[in-house]
């Protein structure tokens, strides 16, 4: 049975097992959309540089009951971010949230299934915001995830509160006995004047292949502050399409950093809809690619209301046969006067077979705005390299030091020190440089 | 120090301040709280002389002078400082150059000799340390490309440099994470003394944990409807602004 | 780095800034006077006879006349270009006087022999020829209407083998050099205005720096349009031979007149192996009045070629004048390791229009170029940057950095950026950055609230914005240029 058939079968099964829910029409609509659009091909302008349909030529298990998701404490320890005993941990296994493995310490943080949320005080919030990402990403994969939305979770951060300890999200795949298809789905609501930090990673156990098709939607209220860190360092036989969709519905502040170090095909969609005046967002990306890794960062900033400020910087070094794609789009809508939007993408090409495709785009419909965008593709500075070597540093070490230096300013935007150090260690290990 | 008497003001055709009365003495910290659109920021802007607002009635006396007669730069000379809710970006003008010009223009207004480069530098270093601002920000264009938090930090730095008599902080806490709020509050607290005063405009109680006010006033619909001490801020946070709205409705 | 190291130089610069600002507010175009001197002019209109007249007036050799007639032939077949973002009434090329020279003794042996009226003109312009004689520093060639009037420091320069004279003299005394290089960078067929210039150009400056010589002083030409209904068509040719260096300055002014006057110049620069040419312009032609009447139409072709290895050409311009500006100083980077630079501040106010920028053509290996363009628009004006960066197939390791910043004062003006990037070699690194920002009431109120008056605030902002380019000008010009900015933008905000 091929994957598409597996998906269809599971969909029918779930729909007949579960009784009617308010989410059913949403899922049905999405499933029809998926059937119409199918898996995106390179003919789709948004997928021009990333060939994802090949991933579907394999067979995947997509029924979590089929395999034993036996994740041990030592498995968890192997993939944990550094943190203390107060850290909140949300664990997803093969795309489904695991209550048993997760730990929540903060009282102001609520995690329940989306299905459950629709039967609670959060019903209106869910119905209002679930699926908003399809406004920006109208492709088959987004629809495919939404078709199974009821299995996702809802995270609520209480108004006026500071979640003092970061929330770590672990996306775990157990591919020890079969190829796995996983579709994590999360809706996060951050209430007025609340503050919260998220950090997530992806880890696959086992040698079989995996494909993760993730959608995370985040709604940010007035005066709230959200930090979101995504660290991708999974094995080369894993593929991921992740969508992070952020709506700033009140004047708020969002910081995100996406770090991609390893994997097969990795596609990250990041949307920021700035729907309230005076909102501010900073989003950074860092990719260090080698082997045949293919990382595609697609970002959209939509300035809807006036006086917003967005600042985007993605940097990467691409080696061996790896490919980096950057597609950054900034929209400034007609009413979004006094928008300040900066966008920049900087690339180091470290080998002749490495590829960088970069496409910064500005679409401005307002007249009183300040926007800048730029991109560079270059090599390591020969003079700097020579300077270091003339001080007795070997060529390889000198290159590593310069590449590390290139990444430093992005690292600086990871505010929690534990996460920053963790990422720096990953990078330094890759480069073989010592850090203090 | 500051005496506001039955102040009315409007922007375009809309009346926003409908009779404000407020007295601030040297050495005091006052907090103005209130729901969105109550006129908090308007009050701050009117005191600083923002041209879009028209004063339609009442008076403001500041250190025995009629404040409303003065231009914005004269008010700055007299010692009014407004920390903007949304500080403006000025490309090409470095913060250092800007602040040096401001300091010396204000000194000129006060009949003091301008600082030379050495004196200015000394003052700047001292104040930089006080408000924990990174000096690399100061050599960049004024507020250009600064994050919201950096802009707010820069406002407090400018306040430290200009040593105002009355500092008005217009929602300086918004958009700041908890560490940044602590730093900003620290800066303000270090600058407080018996000869100056602070007027905090804020929507939330959080900032008042760090800068403790002597008085809290609730502004609603263009008037101060309730005054009290720090406890009033907690009450507001707990019950929400609806409780004020209801109280006002009942009284009417 | 210690904070002192960064701050000290900034603070020094700061005092200078403030000093010049206060001196210069409240000034109008101060070069708008007319000098009453008799002129010797050609009749209006342009035919082959006009060209023969000009050539005869200048006692030119036959080859020069033929060259002009050939250009004229091309020009007649060409059409005026209209792709630029400029709007102006049709120019009647038959309603222009193509040659006007101040009547004076045909040959000036010393400065004392110059017409006293003319000398007063130069004093008003701030170029005292007497002063120049005493102060070593700048050698001046003065071109009024169409003719080079006086060149200073000739002898001293001559001792080094440097030739600095008018084009007319060069045609007579150095025909081999002229024949070799004239129109080698800007061919007579290059564009409509260049062809027109070749046909009717009346004078200009000629510079030759011999092998291995660093020109010890700035060379300078002041251009002045004086007579009515006159077009000015000067042509400048600068050659830096192997290992030579020269810094050249050009300044221009014109009287205030109601009608438009045409200026169509050509400048050609040639840098051979290891040579460097630095060319600076402060362009202050009359921009027209506040309603947009009068002013100079400035259609100029400026191009340099880095012909030799390791050569460098740098254009710096401060443009505040002219009703219409159409100008793209360019560099052809032919020699390996050669460098091209373009630094520009273009200010437009009232109804001025500017379409200006540069072209950097990377042909050789390891060639580098840098473009810094600062456009300031005020009033009802429009300011466009148009730039091309071309990296040819064989231009391995080419590097370009471009930065285009626009500043809008008020909301009736416009700023436009048209960058063209063509890369045919994959080792190239091309970086382009552009920003547009606006100074409005918010910014001014912010300054006011900190105790800074509106006038001071505007001056601070403008000088800060333009500083990176101003710093590239030689000292003598930098102060003048800074004053010009303040004058051009007086009263445009607040």
* Tens-digit pLDDT profile for residues A232-271: 999 999 999 999 999 999 999 999 999 999 999 999 999 9
End-to-end CA, chain A: 52
Residue-level pLDDT at C380:
85
Query: Any chain B CB within 8 A of the CB of C19?
Result: no
Q: Could you report the predicted ipTM of this complex, rounded to two decimals?
A: 0.86
What SS3 class is residue A60? Answer: coil
Residue-level pLDDT at C128:
46
Query: Any chain C CB within 8 A of the CB of A368?
Result: yes
Nearest CA in chain A to B173: A223
Which residue from C205, C207, C127 is spatially nearest to C160, judged by alpha carbons?
A: C207
User: Mutate which of B37, B148, B176, B208 to test chain A, going by most A C-beta atoms within 10 A?
Assistant: B148
CA separation, residue C233 to residues A279, C93, C266, C442 (Å): 55, 13, 8, 45
The whole-number average pLDDT for the span A158-175 is 93
Q: How far apart are CA B215 and CA B227, in angstroms?
A: 7
Which of A192-196, A401-405, C112-116, C379-383 has the weakest average pLDDT? C112-116
What SS3 class is residue C490? Answer: coil
- pLDDT above 80 (res A179): yes
- pLDDT above 80 (res B114): yes
Nearest by CB to A372, from C411, C429, C435: name it: C435
Q: How far apart are CA A249 and CA A279, in angstroms?
A: 9
Query: Any chain C CB within 8 A of the CB of B158?
Result: yes
Q: Of B134 and B225, which is predicted with more confidence?
A: B225
Share of chain B above pLDDT 70, in %: 100
Q: How far apart are CA A340 and CA A330, in angstroms?
A: 11
Report CA B212 to chain centroid distance, whole Å.
Answer: 15
The whole-number average pLDDT for the span A305-313 is 93
Task: Measure B170 CA to nearest chain A CA, in Å.
Answer: 14
Query: Any chain B CB within 8 A of the CB of A309?
Result: yes
- pLDDT above 60 (res A36): yes
Task: Measure B117 CA to nearest chain C CA, in Å.
Answer: 6
Query: Any chain C CB within 8 A of the CB of A374?
Result: yes
Q: How far apart are CA C152 and CA C139, in angstroms?
A: 5
> Maximum distance among all alpha carbons in chain B?
61
Q: Of A199 and C129, which is predicted with more confidence?
A: A199
Sketch out chain B's domains with CATH numbers: 2-251 (3.40.50.300)
Are the C-beta atoms of residues C394 and C424 closer than 8 Å to each other? Answer: no
* C94: exposed, middle or buried (Cβ count in 10 Å: 0-12, 13-18, 19+): exposed
Q: Of B181 and C255, which is predicted with more confidence?
A: B181
Contact C434 A372 (CB under 8 A): yes
- What digits encode the pLDDT tens for the residues C387-439? 888 888 889 889 999 888 888 887 778 877 777 777 777 677 878 777 777 78
Q: Residue written as tokens 């502040």?
A: A253
Nearest by CB to B72, from C437, C445, C464: name it: C445
Which subunits sit against A, judged by 3+ Cβ pairs under 8 A?
B, C
Mean pLDDT in each 10-residue stretch from start to end of chain C (494 residues)?
Answer: 42 38 41 60 82 88 93 92 85 84 51 56 52 46 56 76 89 93 92 92 89 88 65 89 92 64 90 96 80 84 96 92 88 97 90 90 95 89 86 88 85 77 76 78 90 86 85 75 72 58
Are the C-beta atoms of residues C327 and C353 closer than 8 Å to each other? Answer: no
Query: Any chain B CB within 8 A of the CB of A225?
Result: yes
Nearest by CB to B86, from A253, A278, A311: name it: A278
Query: Any chain A CB within 8 A of the CB of B182?
Result: no
Residue-level pLDDT at C139:
57
User: Encoding tokens for residue C90?
Assistant: 């049709």
Residue-level pLDDT at C162:
92
pTM, to two decimals: 0.72
Model confidence at B160, pLDDT cuts 50, 70, 90, reads very high
**Average pLDDT across chain A, whole number:** 90
Q: Residue written as tokens 């007299």?
A: B78
E strands in A234-307:
238-248, 253-262, 265-274, 280-289, 294-303
- What digits encode the pLDDT tens for the residues A8-24? 988 998 888 776 789 99
Q: Which residues pair with C356 in a beta bridge?
A: C327, C385
- What digits encode the pLDDT tens for the residues A260-302? 999 999 999 999 999 999 999 999 999 999 999 999 999 999 9
Contact C431 A374 (CB under 8 A): yes
In our burial notation (b when 16+ CB lie closer than 10 A, e otherwise), range C38-62 reads ebebbeeebeeebbebbbebbebee
Are the C-beta atoms of residues A305 and A338 closer than 8 Å to each other? Answer: no
Query: Any chain B CB within 8 A of the CB of C435?
Result: yes
Which of A412-426, B169-183, C413-427 has the weakest average pLDDT? C413-427
Neighbours of A100 (CB within 10 A): 8
Residue-level pLDDT at C67:
93
Residue-level pLDDT at A391:
83
Q: How far apart are CA A361 and CA A374, in angstroms?
A: 9
Neighbours of B12 (CB within 10 A): 7
Contact A280 B148 (CB under 8 A): yes
Q: Which residues pair with A200 in a beta bridge?
A: A169, A230
Contact C429 A376 (CB under 8 A): yes
Which stretches of C297-398 are DSSP H helices?
none
- C-chain residues within 8 Å CB-CB of B135? 3, 6-7
Query: Any chain A CB within 8 A of the CB of B148?
Result: yes
Contact A370 C436 (CB under 8 A): yes
Contacting C residues, span 354-413, partner chain B, CB-CB under 8 Å: 405, 407
Q: Residue written as tokens 């120090």?
A: B1
Query: Any chain C CB within 8 A of the CB of A363?
Result: no
Query: Any chain C CB within 8 A of the CB of A351?
Result: no
Task: Measure A332 CA to nearest chain B CA, in Å.
Answer: 18
In our burial notation (b when 16+ CB lie closer than 10 A, e otherwise), range A255-271 reads bbbbbbbbbbbbbbbbb
User: Mutate which of C430, C433, C441 to test chain A, going by most A C-beta atoms within 10 A?
Assistant: C433
Q: Which residues pair with A202 in a beta bridge?
A: A171
Residue-level pLDDT at C220:
79
User: Mutate which of A164, A228, A280, A338 to test chain B, going by most B C-beta atoms within 10 A?
Assistant: A280
């Amino acid at each position: 049975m091929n994957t598409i058939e597996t998906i269809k079968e599971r969909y029918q099964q779930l729909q007949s097992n579960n009784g009617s829910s308010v989410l059913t029409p949403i899922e049905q609509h999405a499933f029809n959309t998926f059937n119409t659009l199918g898996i995106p091909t390179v003919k789709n302008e948004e997928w021009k540089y990333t060939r994802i349909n090949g991933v579907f030529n394999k067979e995947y298990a997509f029924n979590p009951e089929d395999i034993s998701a036996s994740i041990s404490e030592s498995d968890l320890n192997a993939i944990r971010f550094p943190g203390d005993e107060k850290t909140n941990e949300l664990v997803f296994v093969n795309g489904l949230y695991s209550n048993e493995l997760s730990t929540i310490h903060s009282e102001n943080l609520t995690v329940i299934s989306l299905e459950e949320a629709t039967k609670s005080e959060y019903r209106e919030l869910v119905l209002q915001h679930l699926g908003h990402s399809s406004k920006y990403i109208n492709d088959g994969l987004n629809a495919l995830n939404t078709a199974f939305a009821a299995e996702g979770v809802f995270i609520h951060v209480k108004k006026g509160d500071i979640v003092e300890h970061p929330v770590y999200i672990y996306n775990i795949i157990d591919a020890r006995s079969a190829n796995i298809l996983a579709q994590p789905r999360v809706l996060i609501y951050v209430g007025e004047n609340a503050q919260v930090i998220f950090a997530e990673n992806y880890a696959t156990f086992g040698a079989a292949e995996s494909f993760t098709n993730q959608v995370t939607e985040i709604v940010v209220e007035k005066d709230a502050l959200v930090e979101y860190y995504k660290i991708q360092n999974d094995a080369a036989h894993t593929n991921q399409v992740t969508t992070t969709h952020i709506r700033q519905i009140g004047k708020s502040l969002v910081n995100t950093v996406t770090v991609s170090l390893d994997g097969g095909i990795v596609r990250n969609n990041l949307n920021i809809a700035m729907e309230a005046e005076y909102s501010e967002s900073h989003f950074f990306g860092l990719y260090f690619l080698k082997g045949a890794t293919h990382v595609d960062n697609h970002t959209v900033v939509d300035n809807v209301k006036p006086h917003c400020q967005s600042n985007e910087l993605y940097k990467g070094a691409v080696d061996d046969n790896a490919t980096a794609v950057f597609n950054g789009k900034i929209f400034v809508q007609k009413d979004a006067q006094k928008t300040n939007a900066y966008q920049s993408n900087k690339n180091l090409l470290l080998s002749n077979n490495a590829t960088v495709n970069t496409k910064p785009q500005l679409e401005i419909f307002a007249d009183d705005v300040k926007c800048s965008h730029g991109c560079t593709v270059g090599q390591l500075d020969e003079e700097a390299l020579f300077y270091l070597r003339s001080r007795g540093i070997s060529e390889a070490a000198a290159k590593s030091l310069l590449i590390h230096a290139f990444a430093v300013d992005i690292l600086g935007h990871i505010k929690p020190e534990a996460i920053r150090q963790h990422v720096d260690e990953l990078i330094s290990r890759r480069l073989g440089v010592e850090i203090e | 120090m500051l005496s506001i008497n039955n102040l009315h003001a409007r922007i375009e055709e809309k009346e926003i301040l409908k009779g404000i009365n407020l007295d601030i003495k040297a050495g005091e910290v006052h907090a103005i709280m209130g729901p969105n659109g109550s006129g908090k920021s308007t009050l701050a802007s009117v005191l600083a002389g923002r041209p879009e607002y028209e004063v339609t009635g009442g008076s403001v006396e500041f250190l025995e002078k009629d404040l409303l007669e003065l231009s914005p730069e004269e008010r700055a000379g007299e010692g009014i400082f407004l920390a903007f809710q949304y500080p403006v970006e000025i490309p090409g003008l470095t913060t250092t150059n800007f602040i040096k010009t401001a300091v010396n223009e204000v000194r000129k207004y006060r009949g003091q000799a301008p600082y030379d480069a050495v004196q200015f530098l000394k003052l700047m270093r001292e104040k930089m340390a006080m408000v924990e601002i990174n000096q690399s920000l100061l050599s960049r264009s004024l507020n250009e490309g600064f994050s919201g938090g950096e802009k707010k930090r820069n406002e407090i730095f400018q306040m430290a440099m200009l040593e105002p008599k009355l500092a008005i902080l217009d929602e300086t806490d918004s958009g700041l994470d908890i560490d940044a709020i602590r730093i900003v509050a620290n800066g303000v607290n270090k600058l407080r003394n018996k000869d100056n005063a602070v007027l905090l405009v804020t929507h939330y109680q959080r900032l008042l944990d760090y800068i403790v006010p002597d008085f809290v006033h609730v502004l609603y619909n263009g008037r101060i409807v309730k005054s009290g001490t720090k406890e009033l801020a907690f009450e507001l946070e707990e019950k929400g602004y609806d409780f004020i709205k209801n109280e006002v409705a009942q009284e009417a | 780095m210690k904070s002192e190291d960064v701050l000290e130089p900034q603070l020094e610069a700061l005092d200078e800034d403030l000093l010049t600002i206060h001196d210069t507010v409240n000034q109008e175009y101060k070069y708008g006077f007319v000098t009453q001197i008799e002129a010797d002019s050609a009749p209006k209109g342009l035919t082959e006879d006009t060209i023969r007249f000009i050539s005869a007036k200048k006692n030119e050799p036959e080859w020069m006349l033929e060259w002009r007639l050939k250009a004229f032939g091309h020009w007649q077949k060409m059409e005026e270009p209209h792709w630029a973002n400029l709007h102006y009434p049709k120019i009647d090329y038959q309603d222009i006087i193509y040659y006007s020279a101040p009547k004076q003794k045909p040959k000036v042996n010393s400065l004392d022999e110059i017409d006293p009226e003319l000398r007063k003109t130069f004093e008003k312009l701030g170029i005292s020829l007497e002063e120049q004689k005493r102060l070593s520093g700048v050698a001046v060639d003065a071109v009024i209407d169409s003719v080079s009037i006086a060149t200073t420091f000739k002898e001293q320069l001559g001792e080094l083998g440097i030739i600095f004279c008018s084009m007319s003299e060069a045609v007579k005394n150095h025909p081999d050099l002229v024949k070799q290089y004239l129109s080698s960078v800007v061919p007579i067929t290059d564009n409509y205005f260049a062809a027109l210039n070749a046909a009717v150009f009346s004078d200009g400056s000629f510079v030759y720096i011999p092998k291995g010589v660093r020109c010890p002083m700035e060379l300078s030409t002041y251009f002045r349009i004086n007579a009515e209904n006159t077009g000015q068509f000067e042509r400048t040719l600068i050659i830096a031979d192997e290992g030579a260096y020269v810094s050249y300055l050009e300044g221009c002014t014109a009287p205030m007149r109601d009608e438009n006057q045409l200026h169509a110049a050509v400048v050609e620069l040639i840098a051979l192996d290891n040579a460097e040419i630095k060319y600076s312009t402060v362009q202050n032609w009359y921009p027209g009045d506040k309603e947009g009447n009068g002013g100079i139409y400035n259609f100029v072709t400026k191009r340099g070629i880095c012909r030799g290895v390791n050569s460098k050409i740098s254009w710096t311009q401060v443009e505040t004048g002219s009703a219409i500006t159409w100008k793209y100083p360019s560099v052809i980077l032919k020699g390996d390791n050669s460098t091209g630079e373009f630094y520009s501040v273009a200010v437009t106010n009232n109804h001025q229009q500017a379409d200006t920028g540069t072209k950097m053509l990377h042909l050789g290996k390891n060639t580098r170029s840098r473009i810094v363009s600062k456009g300031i628009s005020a009033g009802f004006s429009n300011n466009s940057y148009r730039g091309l960066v071309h990296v040819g197939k064989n231009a391995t390791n080419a590097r370009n950095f471009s930065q285009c910043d626009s500043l809008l004062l008020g909301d009736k003006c416009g700023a436009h950026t048209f960058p063209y990037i063509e890369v045919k070699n994959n080792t190239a690194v091309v970086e382009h950055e552009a920003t547009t920002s606006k100074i409005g009431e918010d910014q001014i109120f912010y300054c006011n609230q900190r105790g800074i008056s509106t006038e001071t605030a505007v001056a601070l902002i403008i000088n800060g914005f333009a500083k990176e380019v101003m710093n590239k000008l030689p000292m003598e010009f930098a102060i003048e240029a800074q004053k010009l900015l303040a004058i051009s933008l007086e009263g445009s905000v607040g």
